[in-house]
Amino acid sequence: MTLDDVVAELPNGLHDAFLRTLTIDYAARRATFTLRVWVGDPHAVIDAEREAYRPATIRISGLLWCIIESPERIDGLTAEELWIDAGPLTDLKKRPAVPSVPADAFAWWIFVQQWNAFLYIAGRTASIES
C-alpha cells in the first residue's frame, strides 16, 4: 500500500488531523506518525459527530527521505499536538526542491499550521493502525 491508499481509507484523509509524534528510524528506513485523525461528518447536525477524531498510527516503510522545513514560528507554542493537512507532492502548484522518487514510491507534503512550515516525506509502502 502507498500513503495514498492508506489515506483513502480515512473519511477526511489527513485534513485537519493532529500530529502527536514523528519518529524516524533511518537505519530501518522507517517513519512512524502518531496522530488524531478527523473522522467526523461535516454535514452532521450534532457537533460531537462533526468533530469526531480517533487515534491512528501511520508507518512509512522503505523510507527514502524526510525533509522538515525550519518552523517559521515556535515561540509561545504550547500545543501537545500539531494541526496538519497533507497530500501528495503532485498536488502542490509549486514543487519544492526535494529529491525525485522512483516510480514505485510516493512523496507527500505535510503542512504544520502552528509552524507555518512543511515537511516532505517519501517512501515505498505505508500502513495504518487504529
pLDDT over threshold 70, residue 55 = yes
10-48: pLDDT as tens digits:
999 999 999 999 999 999 999 999 999 988 877 877 887
Question: In Å, how far are 3, 37, 75, 125 from 40, measured between CA atoms?
Answer: 21, 9, 31, 27
Rounded to whole angstroms, how far apart are CA atoms 117 and 78?
17
78-100: pLDDT as tens digits:
667 899 999 999 999 998 999 99
Could you tell me the residue ranges of all domains in the chain? 3-129
Starting from the edge strand earliest in sequence, which strands make up the sheet with 82-88, in order?
65-68, 117-123, 106-112, 82-88, 17-25, 30-38, 53-61, 125-129
Q: Which three cell numbers stand for residue 85?
A: 493537512
What confidence score (pLDDT) does residue 43 get? 80
